[in-house]
Each structure stands twice: as C-alpha cells, then as structure tokens.
Chains A and B, each alone.
Chain A
Amino acid sequence: MKLSLAYKLKQKDLFYVMIMAALILMLFFFHGIDNKPGTTLNCESCTQDIGTMERAGHFEEMLSNGVRHVHHSSNDNLIQFTRPNSFLLGLQKKNIKNCIECHNDEPGAVSKSLGELWVKYPRIDQHTGRLIDFEKAIQYEFTKRYGGTKPFYNDVRITEIMVYAYEKARQKKLVFDVEADDGEPISTELLSDLNPSSACLNVFDKLGKPKGDIAPFVVKGCNIFTDTTNNRPIGYGFWKTKMNCSSCHIDGGSKEYAAHIGDAAVNYPGVYSTNNIIYTNRMRIARCYAHSINEILYGANSEHYKLLTLYMAWIAEKTNLPIGSNRRSRGIHNVRGTAARHASIMAGQRSYVANCEFCHGPAGYGSDRYDNDTDFSPPPINGSEAFVHTATLSYTSRLASFILNNMPPGATHDNPVLTTQEALDIAEFIKVQTRPSAPNTNNLSVFYNYLTNTSMEWWFGETVDKEDI
C-alpha cells in the first residue's frame, strides 16, 4: 500500500479554530484594545508637570511612562512593586502614596524633587559606606516605602523614572552636585595611597582636587577611566585588550572635541541611535565596553560602573555643564567638505609612518616600549587588542575628525597639527586594519581572539624596562 499524507488534521480542528478566532474577534470588538504599540497614556497632571514634550520617539515613550509611575505609582505596570505586602503582619493593606506627593517643587514639599535629586547621585550610602547611584536609590526607596518587594536593579521601570528625573533636571538646567562644596580637598597622603595615574593628576591640576568624603571614590573612578585594563574587578585578569577609556576620551575625558565625558554625563539617559534603546549612563558605559574597547561587561551592579559614572558626573560638575546642554565640542564630529581628494590608503600609510608610527608601532599593535609605563599607553590601532569594529572611531570621517583635533599629542581643535587631508588619509588607512568584530556577531571570534592574543603574547612578548625608555 502506498503511504501518503499519513498525518492529517481533523475536520473539527478547523471548526474549533474558527470558533476560537471568532471569540477573540468578538473580544477585540467589545472589550477594545488594551495594548497598542506606540500609544501613550493621557494624564493631565503629568502634562502639567513635564509640559509639552520636545523630543519624539522612544525617549518620549519612556518619559511618559516615567511620569505615569511618578504620578500614579499604583499603575498596572508598577503595582508589582508598589503595592505593600504585609504578609507577616496579618494582611493589613497600606495606602499607596505616589512619588510626586513627597518629591515635588511645591514650597512645603516633604523632600527634594526628583530633578534636584538627579544631580546629587552617585553618592555615598550612609548605611553601607559604599557608592550608591540613582538607580539603586530608587530600588531602596521602593522597599523602604512600600514593603518587601523591590524591582530589579536594571528594570526598565526604574529607567523610566530615571528618564523623568533627568528631564526635570534638564528643564531646570541644573548642574551636577556630587562633590561637597565646603569639603576639604583630598590630602596628598590619601591621594598617593590611592596611587593615581599621572593622567589623573593632570586632570586634578586642571580642574582642582576632588573634595569631601566622595574624593577617594572620584580618584578610584579616574584610575579606572585612565587605566581600565589594570583596574578590573576580580576574575577578569585573563582577558586581553590594550584599550582604556582614556584611549579615546583624551586627558582623562576632559578634552574638548575628544568626546568630553562631561557632555555624556549630562546627556544620558538618552536614545542611543544605533538600536533606538534608551541608555542610562551605566548602560552607555557598558555599551562602550563591549562595542568600542573590547572589554568584558561587568555585572550590572558592579561598583566599577558606579565609580565611572561618578567620575563622569564630577567632570561635568567641574566643567559647569548644565544637564542636557549640547555644546558644539560634544562627542566626535565628522570631517566634511575640506579635503582636496578622496582619502587614500597609500597616502595614509605614508602619513602614518611619518606621524603615528613612533607611538602606535610599525604594525599598529601599539608599542612594547610603553608596556611598563602605565602613564602613557598609546592604544593599538590594529590587531585583536585594538578597538572594536562597531566603535564610533571605526567610521573614517569620525576618526579623521578625531585625529585632526587631537593627534599627535598636543594638537587641539584650534591648532591642529595635521591637515584635513592627512587626517582623512590616516583614518582610511586605520580603517582597513584588522580589529575585533562586534560582540555577539560570532562568539567563535571571541575564542579566536583570546587564543591568538594569549599565544602571540607568550611567544613574542617582550617588554622594555622603564629605565630604558
């Protein structure tokens, strides 16, 4: 007997499906649609509070949710955490207070408004003596005010409240205030105990020594920023990369036209254009770790992220940047319109040999001559320890602008050393070098990078003593 179509549906199956589909259609018709993607809820007090929104897109969605959380803390989305659970105390139900009832700008307000609190974080937690950021503070506030339940540290609902606080601070043009104004500058002994890098000392010379109780944390943050690879949490020693935050954010992140980190600190949470997700400062740092400097992501709760966020906020405070300010020198620009001809890899190679090779090495792997000199670490521009293909500096025009404004050391936006044409050529030359791929594109490449790095270093590794430099 020939076997064909051995498995068949039954006739009544289709009948059931039609009945069920009809029921769902009726449900939609009579009940209406509860969740429509992209719709925002009307809330009169919210509109009064935040005003007409200036920005559109996901930021607006998050902001409208954030306002809703603050004004109606018992809403469906937040009830998971805000409804008090007195399970052990005989099921007494407490009233749910909204955040805005205490945190507002009215004269007799019980507490500071969220916007004013936004600029005070990260700060030291009085109970634990550890650093606490705004995200963690909201988490604690939930448990303190409403009972046992607290949301996840990186829960989007916390991020939405952060977006609201940020927006309020932006509207008032507040400046970060993480450092006690009347505090004593950090003592020389304490500073030397913390072993600051010379880049950090330069920053402190330029902007003033950090003051008050927070000062040691700022120094730690600066150390992580300027020497990321040597200041990792426990257990990451096996990972090989030579990139530090300050490889691109020059002068400890305080140089304009070199992605000044004060500008970043006052502009996040914001939409990250590549994937349209709202990034907080911590998430943005993690993004930079994974997609720019080829560093492993630390746990979301890691103190290292908090220290970096604090350092960024401190730089913003010292530079006196109001929240949301958008300076001309922000980030890394595009070079456009001034080059006589197209960028040339060959010309770029010649310019590289003339201008860059001494520090970045003949093959661009960085130079062994500075391995023992942690104060000066020219990053590799080639090879598996260099920056990632998805980094902002992987785009020729952005990299050219960076080179023009900052390279060789000593160049500034007003007094560049190279010509635009040279910068474009060098950028094109650097662009075609081999560097790590974006994370998660192929995990085998992570393996491959690790194996080649380790074996190459074991075989060819050779360092010069500091005295011989």
Chain B
Amino acid sequence: MSNIKREELASNIMPGFIMALINLPMSIGFAFLAGVPPAMMITASIVCAIVGYFLNTSKYAVGGPNSATSILIAVAVTPFAPQMGDLYVGYVASLAIFVGVWQLIFCLFFAKYHITDYFNTDIIEGLVLGIGIIFVLSTLYMVLGLPQLSYQQWLIFDVISLASSTLEGEGSYIALFLGTITIASGIYIRTTRYKRYSILIAIFIGFIALIILESIYAFNIERVGWIKLALVTTLPDFRQVSFPVMANLISPAFVIAVISTLQAITVAKAIRGKNEIFNPLRDIFSQSIQHIFLAFLNGAPVANSINKSVAKKELNSGPRALLYSAAFTVVLVVFLDFIIAYIPLAILGGVLFLSGMSMINIKKLKRYLFSNRKTASIFFTTAFLVVVVDIYTAVTFSIMATFVINIIIISKVKTSSVITNNKKLTINVEGTILSNSYNHIQRQFDQSFTPEIQEVVFDIRNANLHTNDIIDFGWITAHSNNGIKVSFLYSEKMQESVQNLFRLHPEISDFNQRAA
C-alpha cells in the first residue's frame, strides 16, 4: 500500500504541484496581456486540466492559458470594450463560445477530410515566431512600468510609444530594474541544468530584489493585486445590442481556433508518450468542449501549451497529475494570495518575456534559413506578415502560398521530342499533368513542329494524368483537321483518366481512331 502511495506521490502529486507552481504566475501574466481579471485565466487553467484529464488522448498534453491566444484575445476584443471591464469579460466569454463552435466544426471536417494535414510545419512555426515577436513586444510595457498598449494602431507604433514614454521619464525605473533582473536571471538559469525551474527561480530572484529595494527606497509600483477566486457562473454576451460586436468576433475566433487546434496537433505529434496512439481529433474535441464550458464558467479562450506539455513529460508525470495540478492551483491561490498580490507586474512581465523568448528559437531560424527557398520563404513571410500586417492575413496567405507553390512544383512536366524520318514527331511527357501543364507541352510541340511532319504522337506512358478541367486544344486540333495524324500513347492504368479527358474534350476523343 505504501508503495502505491509513494508511486502516486512521485508520478502524480509532485509533478502536479510543480505544474501548478509554474502555471500560476503564467496564467496571471497572460490574464494581464489578454486584459481579463486574473481569476478568469486561473479558472481557465483549472477547467482545462479537469476536462483534459477526461478527454485528451495525449498523455502529456496540458491545456490552459496560452501566450498566443492571450494576445489574440486582446487584439480581438480591445477595440470594442475597455479591458478588465464587465463588458469586456462578457465579450471574451462569447469569443470562447465561438472558438468552441469553430473547433467542433474543425472536428467534423477533420474526421472527413483531415483538413489540418494541410497546415504545414513551416506555417505553424512561422506563426509561432511571428506571435512570439508580438508577444515579446507586448510584455515590454510591464517591464518598463508603463500603461498597456493601445492595440488601436500598428504594433510597431505602440512599441515606439513605449520607447518614447520611457525617454520622457513617464515609466518607472524601479520596474525596469526588477524586470531586467528577472529576465537576466531567467536567461542564465536556462543555460544550467535547472532549466525547467527557470521561471520559478527568476520570480524568486526578482522578488528578493524587490524586497531589498523596498527596504532602501519608498516607491509605488503596479502589482498583481488580490485575486478573488470563486466558482462563478456567467452568461456569454449575446444581447441584441452586442450583435454588431459579436459579428466582429467571429473571424478572430476562427484564428484563435486555428491556432489552438494547431497547438493541439503539434503537442500531440511532438510530445507523445511511448506506444501512444496519435489521435489529435480527440485533443481538438477536448479543446472545443473546454472552450464551451469556459464560456459559462467565467474563463477565457485557451490552447494546449507546448512548454507546459514538455515540462509535464520531463517530470515523468502520470495520468492524474493534471487533476492534482488543478487542486494545487486552488490551494496556492487561496493560501499564498498575499504573496501573489505583492508581486509587481514588472517581474511578471519579465517572466512573460522569457516565455515569449522561447517562441523565438534561433536554432529553428537557422534551420529554416538554410533549408530551401520554398520552405524558408513561407516560414519567414508568415512571421513577417503576422508582425507587420495581421495574423488573419498571414494564415490565409501562407496556406494559399503553400498550395500554389506545391502545385507549381508538382505540375512541372518534363518533355522531350524525337523526329523520325522527318515525318513523325514523338513528344514524350513525364511528370504530373495538370491543366497548366498543357501550356508546357504546347510550347514543346510548337518548337519541334516542322511543315514536313505528317504524324504526331504524344507519349504519356510515363506521366500521371490529372485533368478535370476544360482545356483549349485548338493548337493541336487545327493540325489534325489539316490531315496530320495525331495519337496518344498511354498505359493500361491510365485508361480511366484518358477516357475522362476524352469525355470532357470531344474534339480530341477520336484522334486515336483517326490515326489508326
């Protein structure tokens, strides 16, 4: 019996406790970034842990407040309501519902078409890089002791306003000092073997610095403040007066749903246990249910977190660790509230800055830089568009660009021509023939054709025929009508697709018979 207990302690209770310790400051920080009261994000982490325990496939997947989604919440809702207010909270709840519904729709499509297979790694990582840059820039205000960003203009301008305000002496040098100490110690600890506790140690060092400073100087600084954690039932804002705003939240919800779906897939793919079945559908379903429940339990949109999932795997945690972490979160908030209330936002900003820094991975940048032109351009363009234009444009562009580039690469056919006895022209085609490949074939034909030629053979035995479009064959039918024999050479396997081509293009369907 004691063995079982010891095992439970080692594999579930301790990892649960450590995860709660790591999770709590991050949740509070993400709440400030998303512009919602901290209690909302803490609730979100608890609900996610409980629902995730029952529904997740991946043993190590941890859902909860997430950097990317937090910043997206602020970007989506800030133009419509002042942050932290009741109105804002209502809109965030509605946003959570929309995200949940979008993810349910994804589940349906996923089951049928495996739609997320088309989100390539370079797109996902480009998005993560771009959002990481935005995230790091957005945490600067806490470190500088300034009011939060406006999100009403281009982010770069908001950042310039931070620099300008600091130069004008409107920020707080104490905050800057504390934030810098936190960031520096966090970066140092990441190079040591206590890497996984870097956040906790960084907060601790920042806190010690704060206490030393406070014993010397008297100053005011923004702090986290008291968190009143309670079971709160809430209704999303679907009043008639809010409909115009709701309409504006549907597309941001789509992006949040895409991001958290991609995170779920990435976590499920990358951080898998031994012999674990890869089934991202369940993880996505679990997240959609989390979102819908969160909307009614005063929570904010969430995502599976890569960092936290890695931590969970490193801690060798068992299945019940999630439940324990939820319980410990409640215990920590209730019993350590006076310490949490005392933490300055500058230290929290430093911790968030560290978390954002991990999204900007230099090794990954190098890898993409030296990969190939296509992958590198998709990766960097996606990141660039996220920062310079917006996330919606970046997602749309990169998916479209990947499709287009892939189609261009695939539909490049190799052609060659042979003229026998000055009378017979044979054109060999290799590769995948799509509708746009015919122009290439036509060019080959035009270049090799001479007036003496009386017979033309298109040898497509080594090609894959994929044509469902109507194509202009005027360039060859004209010659056929002038008495030149035209025929196609194809293999048995291609019978079906050739018949389909002939059905769509009656003008060439009788070429082979005429030639015979």
Contacts and interface: CB of A to CB of B under 8 A. Distances in A.
B193 to A, nearest CB: 32
A155 B152 contact: no
Contact of B164 (A77, A153, A236): A236
Interface string B217-232: 0001111111110011
A235 interface: yes
B170 A80 contact: no
B333 to A, nearest CB: 13
Contact of A297 (B157, B279, B296): B157
A299 B146 contact: yes
B280 interface: yes
A418 interface: no
Interface stretch (A7-15, A210-218, A251-259, A317-325): A7-15
A140 B152 CA distance: 27
Nearest to A139: B220
A382 B227 CA distance: 52
B86 A35 contact: yes
B220 A234 contact: no
Nearest to A25: B296
Interface in A149-167: 149-157, 159-160
A8 to B, nearest CB: 7
Interface stretch (A344-352, A361-369, A372-380, A436-444): A436-444
A439 B338 CA distance: 42
A86 to B, nearest CB: 9
B152 A154 contact: no
The secondary-structure label for the interface of chain A is loop
A164 B11 CA distance: 54
A354 interface: no
A29 to B, nearest CB: 10
Interface string B143-155: 0001110101110
A296 B150 contact: no
B326 interface: no
Contacts of A110: none
Nearest to B161: A299
B339 interface: yes
A91 to B, nearest CB: 6
Interface in A270-317: 275-278, 286, 290, 296-303
A38 B239 contact: yes
A155 B82 CA distance: 8
B298 to A, nearest CB: 7
B471 interface: no
Given A9-B285, A443-B389, A150 B158 contact: no
A148 B342 contact: yes
Interface in B153-168: 153-154, 157-158, 160-165, 167-168
Given A152-B222, A153-B147, A444-B389, A299 B162 contact: yes
A65 B83 CA distance: 14
Contact of B84 (A79, A156, A277): A156
Interface residues of B, number: 80
A302 B55 contact: no
Nearest to B80: A275
B81 interface: yes
Contact of B296 (A24, A160, A235): A24
Interface string A3-38: 001111110010011001100100110011111111
Nearest to A287: B152
A226 to B, nearest CB: 21
B214 A296 contact: no
Interface stretch (B87-95, B122-130, B313-321, B484-492): B87-95
A16 B161 contact: no
17 contacts: A8-B281, A17-B55, A27-B233, A32-B233, A35-B298, A37-B237, A38-B239, A65-B85, A149-B222, A150-B221, A155-B84, A156-B88, A234-B167, A297-B157, A300-B146, A440-B79, A447-B388
Interface of A: 5-10, 13, 16-17, 20-21, 24, 27-28, 31-38, 57-58, 61-62, 65, 76-77, 79-81, 83, 85, 87-88, 91, 140, 143, 148-157, 159-160, 233-236, 275-278, 286, 290, 296-303, 439-440, 442-444, 446-447
Given A35-B234, A156-B83, A300-B150, 15 more contacts: A5-B111, A8-B281, A9-B281, A28-B296, A35-B89, A35-B298, A61-B86, A87-B338, A149-B226, A151-B222, A236-B160, A236-B164, A276-B241, A302-B165, A440-B154
Give the 9 A-B residue pairs with the shortest CB-CB distance, closest first.
A299-B165, A80-B225, A7-B281, A35-B234, A156-B82, A156-B85, A300-B147, A37-B237, A235-B164
